[in-house]
Amino acid sequence: MLQSYFFDSATNHPDSSALWVDRRFYSYREMEARAHRVSAGLAALSQRGSTGRCLLFAHRSVAAYAGLLGILDAGMAYVPLNPKMPAARVASIIKRSGAQVMLVDRRCSASLNDVLSLLDERPRIFLLDEDGGASSLPFADPALSQLPTAPYVRHHGSVHNLAYILFTSGSTGEPKGVPITHSNADAYVKGQLQLVDKVRNARYVALCELSFDPSVHDLFVCWANGGCLYVPETGDPVYNAGFIQAHQITHWNSVPSVAALMQQMRKLTPGAFPSLLVSMFGGEPLPRSLALGWTRAAPNSRLLHMYGPTEATIASTCFEVTAGFLDDPQHATMPLGRGLPGVELMIVDAELQPVAKGQTGELLIGGPQIAGGYLSTDEPSNLRFIARTFPGSSAHRWYRSCDVVRETTRHGIEFQGRLDTQIKIRGNRLELEEVEHVVRASSHASMCAVVPWPFDEAGQAVGLVAFVANPQVDIPLVLRACRQRLPVYAMPQQIVVIDAFPLTVNGKVDRKALASRLRQ
């Protein structure tokens, strides 16, 4: 079970620091006690008819991490809610999650009513106290009872039970849930323990929000190694640079965009981060110029470029960046590399037949990390999970990544593009159709299309532009609707009104032609 990595370390060295948050340390013993109080209350609650899913609306607090551990220890799956998201999006995730219980910390309780006002049916809501317990929120519903106080009993669940559910951008206009089992997550953590040696007094930094799956790596790979997880108050690049130095961080994990901001702020000076021993980047391409800057700033660190969709549990491949590789200026971005332990990869053509080595095709990912499908059984993207056997492979289930790749002898898998309209902005997955749903509904345009623009040096989108065919469109109204429904990274930076849309020979909107207008 995923939480066992924490509790095993708590048994082996209870007085070691497990967490640094809100400017103080918490030992494994303290966090274990807090988690047990939450677990006991939830377990008693579940005997009264609650489902096996629990919403977690908590942000960078000791309550957030104790609550997460308590949810897992009670045999439930946690569903993290990001307070930085618009209330409408948080409400949509609550509706789709099927969860009947929510834990909230004091930091997020202030914005809770904005979310609750958008729900027809509210979950039972409990406030996580500073001491690690939980009490009912008095302003949510006066009829709510206290979270039951009960003696702690260790829960023995199945590895096939859900550990967590994360929501990603959906092409239908609503976020789609990805349920990950304990077995999926355990396979990932075990692979990481083979990839990176254990470090004495390891200090990991938690940069990602709990709703972003690299956070699972930060939590459980750290605790599996008996390390301490350091939670900064902010993601500000200037603050993060000083944070690494002040706390002598040994393990870093982020999207490249975070490091790129640090580079722009001139924080990647030579030898700036000598304490770093392992640096992981994933979620988007890692440019050579950034890799060079990072290796100079962290001269003692291994540099690993990770790749993998949420549906395959955090990461599926790894490429270790070497000085020799960076010496060649032809390598503009880092390759995806080779499969992590236990992961199987296959490159196929449109008929799902393997292509010859060196030929491009769609990347299929197989192995124990693959999710069983999306939370909603009628989600169209469930077709990406396929049952298939290939000669020389043991996997029977595969996830169609829609990533176009090719395999090289020296560097493994190299990314070539996408088969669909999904893009990444600052490491966040985004279906262009999700933005188009909001723009179309608010603009009343007969047609609309969203294109990524502009791009950075690695060819990654850093913004969006929406095109609409409605000369009477109220642009401020459209932008306001986008702010209310979409994450900040999905906000169009510009609305362009055009008379007619260019079409391909198949009658579809020609996005390339629209993008070319922006270059003129």
Amino acid 151: pLDDT: 67
Q: Are residues 192 and 151 in the same domain?
A: no
**pLDDT, tens only, 256-300:** 888 888 988 899 999 999 999 999 999 888 888 899 999 999 999
Q: Is the CB of residue 468 less than 8 Å from the CB of residue 452?
A: no
Q: Are residues 357 and 432 in the same domain?
A: no
Q: Are residues 90 and 110 in the same domain?
A: yes
The H-assigned helical ranges of 80-228 are 87-97, 106-109, 112-116, 182-195, 214-224
- Provide the number of structural domains found in the chain: 3
How far apart are the C-alpha atoms of 417 and 260, rounded to whole Å? 22
Give the pLDDT band of residue 368 (cuts 50, 70, 90): very high
Task: Using alpha carbons, select from 401, 370, 403 the residue that is nearest to residue 384.
Answer: 401
Percent of the chain with pLDDT over 70: 92
Q: Is residue 100 part of a domain?
A: yes
CB atoms within 10 A of CB 227: 23
Where among 418, 446, 468 does a domain terminate? Answer: 418
Amino acid 505: pLDDT: 66
Give the pLDDT band of residue 138 (cuts 50, 70, 90): very low
Q: Are residues 317 and 256 in the same domain?
A: yes
Q: Are residues 135 and 208 in the same domain?
A: no
Q: How many alpha carbons lie under 13 Å from residue 499 in its C-beta half-sphere?
A: 0
**pLDDT, tens only, 6-34:** 999 999 999 999 999 999 999 999 999 99
Amino acid 131: pLDDT: 59
| DSSP one-letter string for 45-56 | HHTTT--SEEEE
Instruction: State the CATH number of the domain containing residue 97.
Output: 3.40.50.980
Give the pLDDT band of residue 380 (cuts 50, 70, 90): confident
Q: Is the pLDDT of residue 425 over 90?
A: no
Where among 418, 435, 450 does a domain terminate? Answer: 418
Dihedrals φ, ψ of 488, to 5°? -55, -40
Q: Is the CB of residue 150 less than 8 Å from the CB of residue 38?
A: no
Q: Helix, strand, coil shares of the chain as percentages rounded to 5?
A: 30, 25, 45
Q: In the numeric block, which tokens belong to residue 339?
A: 């499969």
Q: Is the CB of residue 292 less than 8 Å from the CB of residue 458?
A: no
Amino acid 142: pLDDT: 34
Average pLDDT over residues 50-56: 82
Q: Is the CB of residue 123 less than 8 Å from the CB of residue 137?
A: no
Average pLDDT over residues 96-122: 90
Q: Are residues 414 and 363 in the same domain?
A: yes
Which are the contacts of 381, defined by CB distance < 8 A and separation ≥ 6?
170, 171, 176, 374
Q: Is the CB of residue 467 less than 8 Å from the CB of residue 432?
A: no
Lowest mean pLDDT among 295-309, 339-353, 437-451: 437-451
The H-assigned helical ranges of 457-510 are 475-485
Instruction: State the CATH number of the domain containing residue 485.
Output: 3.30.300.30
Q: Is the pLDDT of residue 49 over 50?
A: no
Dihedrals φ, ψ of 207, to 5°? -95, -30
Q: Helix, strand or coil for residue 162?
A: strand
Amino acid 510: pLDDT: 83
Q: Are residues 270 and 400 in the same domain?
A: yes
Instruction: State the CATH number of the domain containing residue 388.
Output: 3.40.50.12780
Give the pLDDT band of residue 58 (cuts 50, 70, 90): very high
Q: Is the CB of residue 367 less than 8 Å from the CB of residue 343?
A: yes
Task: Using alpha carbons, select from 249, 253, 315, 255 the residue that is nearest to residue 284.
Answer: 255
Average pLDDT over residues 372-381: 89
Q: Is the pLDDT of residue 136 over 50?
A: no
Q: Are residues 124 and 212 in the same domain?
A: no
Give the pLDDT band of residue 339 (cuts 50, 70, 90): very high
Q: Which domain holds residue 513?
A: 425-519
Q: Is the pLDDT of residue 145 over 70?
A: no
- 251 — alpha (psi -120 to 50), left (phi > 0) or beta? beta
**Could you tell me which residues are beta bridge partners of residue 165?**
179
Q: Is residue 15 part of a domain?
A: no
How far apart are the C-alpha atoms of 123 and 356, rounded to whole Å? 52
Angle between helices 87-97 and 475-485 (to 10 degrees): 40
Dihedrals φ, ψ of 424, to 5°? -120, 135
Percent of the chain with pLDDT over 90: 61
Q: Is the pLDDT of residue 132 over 80?
A: no
Average pLDDT over residues 98-104: 92
Q: Is the pLDDT of residue 168 over 50?
A: yes
Q: Is residue 470 part of a domain?
A: yes
Q: Which position has the higher pLDDT, 375 or 455?
A: 375
Q: Is residue 500 part of a domain?
A: yes
Q: Is the pLDDT of residue 501 over 70?
A: yes
Q: Is the CB of residue 420 less than 8 Å from the CB of residue 383?
A: no
Q: Is residue 272 part of a domain?
A: yes
Enumerate long-range contacts of 151-159, CB under 8 Å, 24 or more apart: 151/40, 152/36, 152/37, 152/39, 152/40, 153/40, 153/43, 154/73, 155/39, 155/43, 155/73, 155/74, 155/75, 157/1, 157/75, 157/182, 158/182, 159/1, 159/183, 159/186
Average pLDDT, the chain: 88
Where among 136, 157, 178 does a domain terminate? Answer: 157
Q: Is the pLDDT of residue 175 over 70?
A: yes
Q: Is residue 177 part of a domain?
A: no
Q: Are residues 133 and 270 in the same domain?
A: no
**pLDDT, tens only, 310-326:** 999 999 999 999 999 99
Lowest mean pLDDT among 42-46, 282-286, 398-402: 42-46
Amino acid 500: pLDDT: 81
Task: Using alpha carbons, select from 132, 124, 112 the residue that is nearest to residue 37.
Answer: 132
Q: Is the pLDDT of residue 60 over 70?
A: yes
How far apart are the C-alpha atoms of 127 and 125, rounded to whole Å? 7
Give the pLDDT band of residue 345 (cuts 50, 70, 90): very high
Q: Are residues 237 and 125 in the same domain?
A: no
The H-assigned helical ranges of 288-407 are 288-297, 323-326
Give the pLDDT band of residue 171 (cuts 50, 70, 90): low
Amino acid 140: pLDDT: 41
Q: Is the CB of residue 152 less than 8 Å from the CB of residue 307?
A: no
Q: Are residues 129 and 214 in the same domain?
A: no
Q: Are residues 278 and 405 in the same domain?
A: yes
